[in-house]
């Protein structure tokens, strides 16, 4: 595997940062993650838009142009020899002399094999639990997943696949995915506030507009539990039906018809993106 | 400078972690920090107690005994040649194959020069602002300081030295320090819930008990603003008078008599600790 650090290509084994980096001292770094299909980076513009937005929001400057990053990513894919790869770009607070003040940011881009959800995974769907938590600076794709990783033993104990966060007023998101519900009167709803703007989320909102009414607004836990269908979206999970929440079965416990339709349309949308590159 | 990683001593330059470590992938790591005076580690038992407690609370196992860590720290101090050093022990989620599930933890201990507050710093005191934020898993000394570092431009704009967090019901702590207030009827109060158990905080609670009544309980923002004296405590700042909060002057804008007394007692307490090693 290949990686990119400090303006040069390195091997994956050389992808090392000194412990004085603010990512390790203070968890201060942003990243973005995209995947490739047959060697083509998927929705790269959306991911770069978000990466630059995260960097700006966290007051870190990316001293590399979009075109340069795209060239680096293409070269990494070529060097890795992978057709299906996960590209991770991370910008950190840098080697801070006082372990607290941001310094010259470190940019590191890695390229590794990636596992994505299959059609069989879609058919099985996932079981989730809910947990009260509001992510810090939710619009920024920071490296802070402290609560998410910390909750893994609870997920195991509850035999759940993922955890849905909620705050005082509404449900928000999964640690690494956005949530959508389909109401019994056939509306598609997804939260807009206090969540990360997912790239797959954005695509689904676009695709769904020609199929059913779409609303981006808060969803209460009551409305969630009354939903006809629930699914999550992410770069690697694409669309994943949620078949139970806190042990309550959603619908008939199988992927619902609208979720299925959106899934098929998303697969087609992805193919269409690739043929137009 | 010297460091310790994977059961061996290394140079500071070799203190590198691979980017697949969960500290960089997901901000998943705990640490503790202590300082030395004339080459003696200060309050080392308290710091080790908290480090082991943080590790356990975050489901990471320290595969090294307390005695071994103490030997390592003594050797690092010796190799560094520093009399006043900052020792940082960090335990991370390890090199995770899927970038999400904790693996074999990485322990890395560094030893660097440290800057501590002086008697002159005490006399000047500090100006602080308040900000609504509740730290995630506050009882764990994790590396998550996302909001704290992100707020630094605001501190600069407000010409403030630090930020005091508050949640819906009360004030809690500074990003790296605990808060104490002295009421107009001479009681010392410090929050107990939703804060990190500071080692200096613990020492001050012990020292103060013979001087005035001490209460560990929630403090509202109203009670804070009516306080006669306010100070913070930390390993490097020791006791630091807060002379203004959100631009409102506390007391007469100088270190108050009880804060001063506690400061002198703490300096004596520290000396006493050292002569008994």
Token output for B244: 């203004």
CATH fold of B2-113 reads D-amino Acid Aminotransferase; Chain A, domain 1 (3.30.470)
Helices (H), chain B: 22-26, 44-57, 66-80, 119-124, 146-150, 152-157, 199-208, 221-225, 257-275
Give B175-230 pLDDT, tens digit per residue. 999 999 999 999 999 999 999 999 999 999 999 999 999 999 999 999 999 999 99
The arithmetic mean of pLDDT across residues A124-133, rounded, is 97
Tell me the per-residue pLDDT of A39-83, one tens digit each, with 9 for 90 and over: 999 999 999 999 999 999 999 999 999 999 999 999 999 999 999
Residues 6+ apart with CB under 8 A from B38: B83, B84, B274
List helix spans (H) across chain A.
22-26, 44-57, 66-80, 119-124, 146-150, 152-157, 199-208, 221-225, 257-275
Write down the pLDDT at residue B68.
97
CB contact under 8 A, B24 and A143: yes
Residue numbers in B near A15 (CB within 8 A): 18-20
| Closest CA in chain B for residue A56 | B150
Measured distance CA(B47)–CA(A126) in Å, rounded: 42
- Window B:1-40, CB contacts with A under 8 Å: 3, 13, 15-29
Q: Which CATH architecture has domain B119-275?
A: Alpha-Beta Barrel (3.20)
Tell me the nearest-neighbour CA distance from B209 into chain A, angstroms.
33
Q: Which of B17, B101, B102 sits opposite A24 (nearest CB)?
A: B17
- Write the pLDDT tens digit of every residue in A225-252: 999 999 999 999 999 999 999 999 999 9
Does B249 lie at the interface with A, CB-CB under 8 angstroms?
no
Q: Where are the domains of chain A?
A: 2-113, 119-275
Interchain CB distance below 8 Å, A26 and B143:
yes
Which residue in A has a C-alpha nearest to residue B116's C-alpha?
A98
Q: What token pair was written down for B64?
A: 């090294």
B149 at the A interface (CB within 8 A)? yes
Is the distance from CB of B70 to CB of B77 less than 8 angstroms?
no
B4-52 residue pLDDT tens? 998 899 999 999 999 999 999 999 999 999 999 999 999 999 999 999 9
Could you tell me if B59 lies within 8 Å of chain A, comparing CB atoms?
A: yes
Q: Does A152 touch chain B (CB under 8 A)?
A: yes
Kindly state whether B137 is in contact with chain A, defined as any CB-CB distance less than 8 angstroms.
Answer: yes
- Which residue, among B12, B26, B133, would best test binding to A if mutated, counting the most A CBs under 10 Å from its CB? B26
Q: Pseudo-torsion of CA A181, A183, A187, A190, nearest 10°?
A: -20
- B18 CA to chain A: closest CA distance, Å? 4
- Please give the ipTM for the structure prediction: 0.95
On average, the pLDDT of chain A sits at 97
B144 vs A27: CB contact, 8 Å cut-off? yes
């Amino acid at each position: 595997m290949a990686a990119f650090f400090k303006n040069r290509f390195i091997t994956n084994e050389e992808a090392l940062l000194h412990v004085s980096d603010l990512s390790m001292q203070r968890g201060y770094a942003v990243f973005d993650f995209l995947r490739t299909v047959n060697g083509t980076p998927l929705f790269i513009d959306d991911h770069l838009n978000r990466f630059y937005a995260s960097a700006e929001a966290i007051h870190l400057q990316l001293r590399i142009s979009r075109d340069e990053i795209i060239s680096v990513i293409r070269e990494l894919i070529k060097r890795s020899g992978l057709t299906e790869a996960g590209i991770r770009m991370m910008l950190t607070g840098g080697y801070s002399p006082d372990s607290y003040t941001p310094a010259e940011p470190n940019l590191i881009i890695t390229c590794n094999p990636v596992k994505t959800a299959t059609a069989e995974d879609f058919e099985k769907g996932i079981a989730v639990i809910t947990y009260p938590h509001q992510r810090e600076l939710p619009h920024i794709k920071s490296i802070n997943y402290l609560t998410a990783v910390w909750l893994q033993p609870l997920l195991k104990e509850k035999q759940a696949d993922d955890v849905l966060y909620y705050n005082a007023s509404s449900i928000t998101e999964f640690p690494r995915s956005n949530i959508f519900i389909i109401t019994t009167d056939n509306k598609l709803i997804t939260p807009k506030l206090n969540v990360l703007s997912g790239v797959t989320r954005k695509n689904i909102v676009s695709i769904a507009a020609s199929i059913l009414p779409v609303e981006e607004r808060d969803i209460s836990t009551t409305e969630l539990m009354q939903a006809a269908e629930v699914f999550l979206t992410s770069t690697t999970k694409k669309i994943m039906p949620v078949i139970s929440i806190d042990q309550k079965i959603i619908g008939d416990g199988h992927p619902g018809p609208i979720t299925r339709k959106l899934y098929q349309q998303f697969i087609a949308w992805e193919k269409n993106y690739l043929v137009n590159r």
